Amino acid sequence: MNAFVDLHIHIGRTESGRPVKITGARNLTFRNIAITAHRLKGLDAIGIIDAHVPEVQAEIKALIDDGTIREAPGGGLMMGSTLVILGSEIEVKGTATGLAHVLLFLPDLGTAKALTEWLRPRLKNVSLSTQRLYEEVPVLQEWTLQQGGLFIPAHIFTPFKSLYGSSVNRLADLLEPAKVHAVELGLSSDTAMAAGISELNPYPFLSNSDAHSLANIAREYQAIRLDELSFSGLEKAIRQGHVVANYGLDPKLGKYHRTFCNTCQSVVETVDQNRCPLCGQAGKLTKGVYERLLELTDQQGSTKTRPPYIHHVPLKMIPGIGQATINRLLQKYTEMDVIHRLSEAELFALLPEKIVRTLLKAREGKLTIASGGGGLYGKII
């Protein structure tokens, strides 16, 4: 099957209200994520990050015990027909590098609990998300492989806390390349931009939402060809590069796509000597992903044939669609249905003409977009 998969969804709070991802929404609990992904978003598989948190693990056990979710024979959990993979995002640092975030995905609740115990002496608070690891990064990679897990650098070009955005110029300066299974591009880049980096040729490109709210689940995802809906099926597919298509924001919509002047709060597209062309100030710029990739590019395109990267726009970013309209649509359809599957005639029966025309342009990649930068999302014009 070709499965729609979003592998980077954070937990904001536990059921008791205890913070897990401080910047995550209060209703972003494990239960709510699984239900939303299955019933509203129409995803076939998801990765729920922060499964190393002990209270989250207790919630998962309770959901298994009461039959809300069940363990898949090949690893992972099932919420209805949606596969749930347990993961963790960890902050790492090399000997002479900046900070970067990495993702681990593990086969089952038992290995998630084993990760918790392995992490306890190596970070300050095992009950919070994305904590700094006080251990050599290759040691973490080796541990992950020994558990049968997947190791994937997260949002690799983001200006803050990412592999290339704030840490290194070469992957091998931080990680052991042979123990990396794929790389996550992030919201401000796509395959065409990243294909110019030759050392990434061996790795599948993933596009995930990095959701900090229920609404942002599936703002980016991919179609992956799976032999079976289980952790082992997903692990095999990623190792073998069976990504069929990436679905992501047009990079211009990402909040770090272009360089941003923090003095005049403007996106700038030309920079001379680290000086803003608009206000003249120097040294107050946040370098955009686009500009960072210009520095890293060392080949024209890629020697590897990549699956198509399809620019899509989540319903919440379509001008004119409010939350009440989205709620009405999702009473009958999933978001995947509205974005991809419904015919033009079906859309016109549901929505005003202007909104339908925008949706159709989004499907065709023909929207006009003002670039984002410095933490501000781009906008559809």
**pLDDT tens-digit series, residues 159-186:** 989 999 999 999 999 999 999 999 999 9
258 and 247 in a single domain? The answer is: no
Q: Give the closest residue to 287 by CA, choosing from 268, 311, 305.
A: 268
Query: Is residue 302 predicted with pLDDT exceeding 80?
Result: no
Q: In this structure, is residue 186 part of a structural domain?
A: yes
Tell whether 219 and 79 lie within a shared domain.
Answer: yes
Could you tell me if 144 and 55 lie in one domain? yes
340 and 193 share a domain? Answer: no
Average pLDDT across the chain, whole number: 94
Asked if residue 18 has pLDDT above 90, the reply is yes
In this predicted structure, the answer to whether residue 66 has a pLDDT above a threshold of 70 is: yes
Nearest to 222 by CA among 43, 41, 30: 43
The bridge status of strand 205-206 relative to strand 183-184 is parallel
User: Which residue from 329, 318, 379, 301 is spatially nearest to 354, judged by alpha carbons?
Assistant: 318
Based on the fold, state whether residues 188 and 327 are members of the same structural domain. Answer: no
Residues 264 and 163 occupy one common structural domain? no
- Residue 275 and residue 200 share a domain: no
Total domains present in the chain: 2
Cα–Cα distance between 376 and 55 in angstroms, integer? 33
Is 295 within the bounds of a domain?
no
pLDDT band at 301, cuts 50/70/90? low
Residue 243 is part of which domain span?
2-251
On whether both 94 and 190 belong to a single domain, the answer is yes
State how far the alpha carbon of 267 is from the alpha carbons of 107, 259, 283, in Å. Answer: 42, 6, 15
Examine the domain organization and report whether 236 and 124 are in the same domain.
yes
Indicate whether 60 belongs to any domain: yes
pLDDT more than 70, % of the chain: 99
Is 299 contained in some domain? Answer: no
Asked if residue 173 belongs to a domain, the reply is yes
Instruction: Assess whether 203 and 335 both reside in one domain.
Output: no
Per-residue pLDDT reduced to its tens digit, 195-238: 999 999 999 999 999 999 999 999 999 999 999 999 999 999 99
Chain length of the chain: 381
